Amino acid sequence: MTEQRRVALVTGAARGIGQAIATRLAGDGWRVVIADRDHSPALGPPGSGLRRVQADVAEEAVVEALLAGVQAEEGRLDALVCNAGFMVRKPLRELTLAEWQAVLGTNLTSTFLLARASEALLRASGGAIVTIASTRARQSEPDTESYAASKGGLVALTHALAMSLGPEVRVNCVSPGWIDTKGEALRPEDHAQHPAGRVGRPEDVAALVAWLVGPESGFVTGAEFVTDGGMTRKMIYAE
């Protein structure tokens, strides 16, 4: 009997890190459901194992419909990758409550909604959840309160979910640093400031996620993995 293809749901996968994760998992033989509130570009030819769904995962009813669709179309779920997120950068005095709530809704609350809606499917498959936080969970630039709060919440939510869903479901977090998702015109000094010698690429995050949802990480849960080229370990003194 042929082994059934593993299925992953990746949110915020229309571009950037999410797109790289979806592409990597599909290349590894997964069936990947791509969910994004924007239309996803074509990531591969027909039959490449990718199904695209336009969905705002900050909305409870939308998430429930999304997982009902996975149950109906794929019949199983082995991995949930919660990558959807955005930033509003504004001085605190100008940040509205609606903007604060929108950022937390997409970046943090969506993971709660997705984990809750997918629990039965993931328990049945012995699956895994990976949340995508940020090094901004632990360090900040000015005017990023809502984003930092949402990412810090994701780190805590990750280990809470790991305790609640284990041992059937493992839950881990990846916190990227500077990842070039837009093909920036990077300077030599941009690369040189990183102990690893370069700015990160979306594929760096995708490779780590692929390991975390795979069988070789079976003893890993409740953990945060910082992938930032060593920047958060680098001591910097003003001259």
Catalytic residue ranges: 147
Q: Could you give the CA distance from residue 128 to residue 193 in angstroms, rounded to a whole number? A: 34
Phi, psi of 77 (to 5 degrees): -150, 125
**Ramachandran sector of residue 184 (left: φ over 0; alpha: ψ -120 to 50; beta: rest):** beta
Nearest CA to 34 out of 58, 62, 66, 6 is that of 66
Residue type, 89: R
Side by side, which strands form the sheet with 224-227? 50-54, 31-36, 7-11, 79-82, 128-132, 170-176, 224-227
Phi, psi of 58 (to 5 degrees): -80, -10
- What count of other Cβ atoms lies within 10 Å of the Cβ of residue 48? 14
**Contact (Cβ atoms closer than 8 angstroms) between residue 185 and residue 235:** no
Q: Is residue 111 within a helix (H) or strand (E), and if so which, with residue range?
A: helix 110-125
Torsion sign across C-alpha atoms 228, 230, 233, 236: negative
- What count of other Cβ atoms lies within 10 Å of the Cβ of residue 10? 32
